[in-house]
């Protein structure tokens, strides 16, 4: 049964791109009471100064030390990698009702050695890796209530797994030679974009990056293996676009014998029939990110190519919503047995 009382929420990292989207959606959620908005800068200021969409009167920005954890049910951690694990290590055993939705990479990777290899520092709370759940909402609707730590997936992996995982589980496509080409708006790099990318004409050109070993590769590897118990051979390359938000992933696959594009499309349509946010388009539909911006939707299109048994899958999401804040709220809704779309329409 849906809960009667409102969920008392804290957002840590409230003034980043993802944090502001989180606060915006949470401020409209009928079952949420925002208790704390935390950041390291701009203390004492109103959150509406940073996002004009936020109309509701909310607590002013404060420091994490001002949180009374006893009064919080759920904390959203929208922080740089390495920070959420410190907070969870300090509070998990002390505040037994407290739940966490972490939007960083801290609890996505279950193997601490792989985590170290990809994030370049040792995990500070490895004892909690197996206590957390990696949750693409559509795949964890029943299981999520058994966990207190929810690892929100990366934006690229969300756009990639939503179409691929059902097809791989059903053995409809080859596990070899999958090519994934993903393009994202620059908000995915956060507000410190200029420190991460030194490219000439950054805001008026397209750039490939993370060519050999982007950190999301191990995340995709881990999750697909979880469902298939087989090694999937794929290449992945991200690109930065001179647009603020949105992701378009283009996935090139080879279907198994006798499988047509229409069969792939029909299977995905049946699989996601009860999923409110995943839209399977008509066969060979032209697609971009335009329809999904500022929504929690994922649009998927299956297209024929001129080569027999080779097909293209397009998958479009908003990197800040379905790829981050929106999926975090969708996970919260599932965690508290609320309608999935609460606060997200």
Of 155, 218, 298, 303, the catalytic one is 155
Residue 155 known to be catalytic = yes
Helix (H, G, I), strand (E, B) or coil at 241: strand
| Residues with Cβ within 8 Å of residue 188, at least 6 apart in sequence | 155, 240, 247, 319, 320, 323
| DSSP conformational letter for 318 | -
* 44 class by beta-carbon count within 10 Å (0-12 exposed, 13-18 middle, 19+ buried): exposed
| Residues with Cβ within 8 Å of residue 222, at least 6 apart in sequence | 108, 109, 110, 111, 114, 134
Helix (H, G, I), strand (E, B) or coil at 141: coil
Nearest to 191 by CA among 10, 12, 18: 18
| Residues with Cβ within 8 Å of residue 246, at least 6 apart in sequence | 184, 185, 289, 290, 292, 293, 316, 317, 318, 319
CA dist., res. 319 & res. 329, Å (int): 14
Tokens of 143: 């299981």
Please give the positions annotated as active site. Answer: 155
């Amino acid at each position: 049964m849906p809960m009667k009382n409102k969920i008392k929420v804290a957002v840590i990292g409230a003034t980043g791109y993802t944090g502001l989207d989180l606060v915006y959606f949470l401020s409209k959620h009928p079952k949420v009471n925002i208790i704390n908005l935390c950041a390291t800068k701009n203390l004492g200021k109103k959150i509406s100064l940073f996002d004009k969409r936020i109309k509701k009167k909310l607590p002013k920005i404060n420091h994490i030390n001002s949180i009374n954890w006893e009064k919080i049910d759920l904390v959203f951690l929208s922080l740089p990698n390495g920070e959420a694990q410190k907070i969870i290590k300090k509070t998990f055993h002390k505040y037994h009702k407290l739940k966490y939705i972490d939007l960083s990479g801290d609890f996505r990777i279950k193997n601490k050695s792989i985590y170290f290899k990809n994030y370049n520092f040792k995990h500070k709370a490895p004892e909690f890796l197996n206590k957390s759940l990696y949750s693409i909402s559509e795949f964890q609707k029943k299981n999520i209530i058994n966990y207190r730590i929810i690892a929100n997936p990366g934006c690229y992996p969300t756009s990639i797994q939503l179409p691929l995982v059902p097809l791989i589980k059903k053995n409809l496509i080859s596990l070899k030679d999958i090519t994934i080409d993903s393009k994202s708006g620059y908000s995915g790099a956060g507000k410190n974009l200029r420190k991460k990318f030194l490219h000439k004409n950054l805001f008026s050109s397209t750039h490939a990056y993370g060519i050999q070993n982007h950190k999301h590769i191990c995340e995709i590897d881990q999750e697909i293996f979880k469902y298939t118990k087989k090694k999937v051979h794929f290449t992945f390359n991200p690109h930065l676009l001179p647009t603020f938000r949105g992701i378009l992933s283009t996935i090139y696959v080879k279907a198994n014998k006798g499988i047509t594009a229409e069969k792939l499309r029909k299977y995905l349509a049946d699989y996601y029939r009860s999923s409110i946010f995943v839209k399977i388009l008509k066969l060979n539909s032209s697609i971009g990110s335009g329809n999904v911006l500022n929504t929690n939707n994922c649009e998927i299109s299956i297209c024929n190519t001129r080569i027999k048994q080779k097909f293209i899958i397009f998958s479009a999401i908003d990197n800040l919503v379905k790829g981050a804040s929106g999926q975090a709220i969708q996970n919260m809704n599932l965690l508290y047995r609320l309608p999935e779309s609460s606060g997200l329409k």
